[in-house]
Chains A and B, each alone.
Chain A
Amino acid sequence: MNIEVQEQPPRTHYLNATYGLKSWLLTKDHKRIALLYLASVTFFFALGGLFAVAIRVELLTPQGDMMQAETYNRVFTMHGVAMVFFFLIPAIPATLGNFLVPLMIGAKDLAFPKLNLLSWYIYNVGALLTLIAIVTGGVDTGWTFYTPYSTTYSNGNVLLSGVGIFITGFSSILTGLNFIVTIHTMRAPGLTWFRLPLFIWAHYAASLIMILGTPVVAITILLLAAERIAHVGIFDPALGGDPVLFQHLFWFYSHPAVYIMVLPAMGVISELIANMTRKNIFGYRFVAFSSLAIAVFGFLVWGHHMFVSTQSVYAGLVFSFLSYAVAVPSAVKVFNWTATLYKSSISYNTPMLYGFGFIGFFIIGGMTGLFLAALGVDVHVHDTYFVVAHFHYIMVGGTIMGYLGGLHFWWPKITGRMYPEGWARFAALVIFVGFNLTFFPQFLLGYMGMPRRYYAYPEEFQVLNVMSSAGASILGIGYVIPLIYFAWSMRYGPRASANPWGAFGLEWRTSSPPPPENFKETPIVTWEAYEFRPRHEAEVIDITRH
């Protein structure tokens, strides 16, 4: 493998090539924009996290005693809004994706650098409006905004937060557009589709969803606004409308949205596993196609959020069937990642630990999805803590593990510094333990009958709630530790070489941090994906002939 082993870190790179606030706020460099996004999403992660703390502290006791019911309703709504729209959806694509997509394909930048910067500003405008909505009283409809509560009965800042989310949606659309065009048109010579890193395939699939799905939630918010302002009647049965229509429109985006959150994380995991095991991902093409399959099938299953919504039993049957179909490509990924470990060379560095953690959490999160897709069981567990546990296993156990694993893996590339490995492994362990303690009891609470969005509950649910809250405090510590050492490392961390991991991929063939133009010379790709050992040099193992 030809790696340029760089002895000295570069003098000039994208971080110090130009100075001053304007050089950052008006940058067109995708790497700087990625860092701008990193700041924004970290802020919202912290905000959403504070709301989570409030929820878990209130739920320590069966009575509603820490805050009023109205306040609690606003707190859980804003936890969901902040986390879903302002953290989980942009986190990996807008930080790691923005930083890495051009580097991984050997390009100087994305196809539309100015649109990229615009997307960050659009995100911030929407974020600001939503923040104003939060501090001037908040919203209490749940992040799902079901009608007619949201259109006619809620006293909160429904319109303001709706407008904020509407605007930020365009940030997502622009990012997706940029990625798709870039991946199609700006790959380096020799970089054919099946030589692409799986991170690129995953972001391509997620970008398809961003472009096709986000406009639907935008329209849905507009309809919600029209109903709330002008009482048009589209969701009001007294005027011939249908409140359940809102649910169809909302979930038509919001289900694919969860794949926007998880596909990029899966892309990260593929990179972590391939590079930490120094092998091509087993079944590369299957993993690549599974990302596309998930993106497509993901648009066909929205009704599995509505099995008891008064939608017809036949609609329920169809959506359940399709939901099982969409589970298969996800399972395929897990099996292929596991098979990659066979006869590989596994390093236990922090990125790999996050990779293992992801797989563990995703097995539980994914299998419990099967419970929810099972119609007869879903009738019982719908709208209970079982659902809350399931989606946190995927979004926190999945997406956030992917995000943190990716941050650790590419940190030396992004900053030119290494984080402290000992603390990082410790934090990963704390997160793993804290997460399971927080969310596993919630599966049990849900089956026992504890509904979602309850701020007071019957006594018999207390023990599990206390366990969950205890876990949350541990999890919180686990998230704070990296915040501290990442910041510390930017000044005091040991300087990193171009390829400290011995990893594959074009991003590792330029300096750490990269120069503003990414590559001194456009690379020419003559190798296959993750071809750590050139094929003609090695005898290839045939797994089926043992």
Chain B
Amino acid sequence: MQTVPFAPEQASSFAADVDALYGFLWALTIVIGTALTLLILYFAVKYRRRIEDEIPRPVRASHRLEAVWVGVPFVVAMGIFAWSADIYYRMYRPPAEAIDVYVVAKQWMWKFQHLDGHREINELHVPVGRKVKLTMTTEDVIHSLFVPAFRVKMDVVPGKYSTLWFEPTKAGRYHLFCAEYCGTSHSGMIGWIDVMEAPEYQAWLRGAAAGASLAAAGEQLFQQLACNTCHKSDGTGRGPSIQGVFGKPVQLGNGQKVDADEAYVRESITNPKAKVVSGYEAIMPTFQGQVSEEQLLQLIAYIRSLASVQGTTLQGGTAPAGQQTK
């Protein structure tokens, strides 16, 4: 698939599709623009005023012609819409199997955290040919993670997680930019995505110093913040057990069922009253302001690491009434 002129390298599985639509749109623009320009120039010359007070005959309106040039552009527009919507929809559905990386943006840097504990700042190493899913948030203002070579971009918004996924198809070093104005050093909030062939990637994994894995850090935090006093692993605590929960549907007290994903866990920590599990009381205090975004990711990674553990059923958890909360 040839690249269009003045485009970044095609380095992800999306790039060729986006370039194809882009190329088509330029072709359409050039064809229509040239046709109209030539027609206008032709009319401009042919019907130029020859006598100063000449007055041309009026031309009757034509509803048929109007219908044509309303209908045809509309149909073409709908075609473009459908084509581009398809690409967009695929960009918005992250695959089930992907390497997860958590991203915390702040003025003016990008912090990447691999689940295994590798932490990177302004640089992200990924293997070629494997799907990568970024779960992102920001500590301060809205930023936007943009990798032109992959043709992907997603804003990061405080208070929530946004996701972006890609499959790199070509090894290389590609620009990473912040694409949402965020203050003084907005144009300095840049970095690199390093896509490596498998052997090089393995070497990097071994070589780069990794801290404790995110999940291990999260487990420590779980004890430190005394989460385990309510969220007992045998399900007898005032709060539901967190074993075997992540990634599965959860029954809420108001009858709704939601998926226990990253956003659910984050919200349950920062705003516990929002979604209360069925059978439990809304007594969990909020940890808003007491845990940083990175610590939240550690806790999520820990809870996630227990996803495949057989958990006790969430129904009928004993929640003694009248107990003092902390």
| A interface residues, Cβ below 8 angstroms from B | 1, 64, 69-70, 73, 140-142, 146-149, 152-154, 237-238, 240, 242-244, 277-280, 282-286, 307-310, 313, 316-317, 320-321, 324-325, 327-328, 331-332, 334-336, 338-339, 341-348, 356, 359-360, 363-364, 367-368, 370-371, 373-380, 382-384, 444, 447-449, 451-458, 502, 531-533, 535, 538-544
A-B contact pairs, 19 of them (CB 8 A): A69-B184, A146-B141, A237-B158, A237-B159, A277-B47, A282-B59, A286-B61, A317-B88, A324-B74, A327-B73, A345-B49, A377-B84, A379-B151, A444-B6, A453-B187, A540-B58, A540-B59, A542-B62, A544-B64
Q: A327-B73, A543-B65 are in contact. Are A308 and B144 (CB under 8 A)?
A: yes
Task: Give, as a whole number of angstroms, the nearest-CB distance from A95 to chain B.
Answer: 28
Query: Within 8 Å CB of B186, what residues of A?
Result: 69, 73, 453-454
Query: Within 8 Å CB of A149, what residues of B?
Result: 141-142, 181-183
| B177, closest chain A residue (CB) | A451
Contact of B91 among A379, A444, A541 (CB under 8 A): A379
List 17 other contacts, CB 8 Å, given A324-B77, A345-B47: A69-B185, A69-B187, A142-B181, A148-B140, A279-B56, A307-B88, A309-B157, A320-B84, A360-B37, A363-B37, A367-B32, A373-B80, A374-B25, A383-B144, A452-B179, A453-B187, A540-B59
| B interface residues, Cβ below 8 angstroms from A | 4, 6-8, 17-18, 21-22, 25, 28-29, 32-33, 36-37, 39-40, 43-44, 47-50, 52-62, 64-66, 69-70, 73-74, 77-78, 80-81, 83-89, 91-92, 107, 140-142, 144, 146, 148-149, 151-155, 157-160, 162, 175, 177-188, 271, 288-289
Taking a contact as CB atoms under 8 Å apart, the answer to whether B58 and A342 are in contact is no
In the docked arrangement, what's the CA distance between A278 and B49, Å? 10
Taking a contact as CB atoms under 8 Å apart, the answer to whether A153 and B140 are in contact is yes
In the docked arrangement, what's the CA distance between A244 and B4, Å? 34
Query: Within 8 Å CB of A543, what residues of B?
Result: 59-60, 62, 65
Query: Within 8 Å CB of A456, what residues of B?
Result: 187-188
Taking a contact as CB atoms under 8 Å apart, the answer to whether A320 and B160 are in contact is no
| B136, closest chain A residue (CB) | A310
Contact of B155 among A154, A310, A343 (CB under 8 A): A310
| B40, closest chain A residue (CB) | A338
In the docked arrangement, what's the CA distance between A154 and B182, Å? 9
In the docked arrangement, what's the CA distance between A382 and B50, Å? 48
Query: Within 8 Å CB of B64, what residues of A?
Result: 544
Query: Within 8 Å CB of A308, what residues of B?
Result: 144, 153-155
Taking a contact as CB atoms under 8 Å apart, the answer to whether A383 and B162 are in contact is no
Taking a contact as CB atoms under 8 Å apart, the answer to whether A538 and B183 are in contact is no
Contact of B152 among A142, A153, A377, A379 (CB under 8 A): A379
Contact of B61 among A70, A282, A447 (CB under 8 A): A282
In the A-B complex, the 8 residue pairs with the closest CB atoms: A237-B159, A376-B87, A449-B148, A375-B88, A374-B84, A341-B43, A324-B77, A454-B187
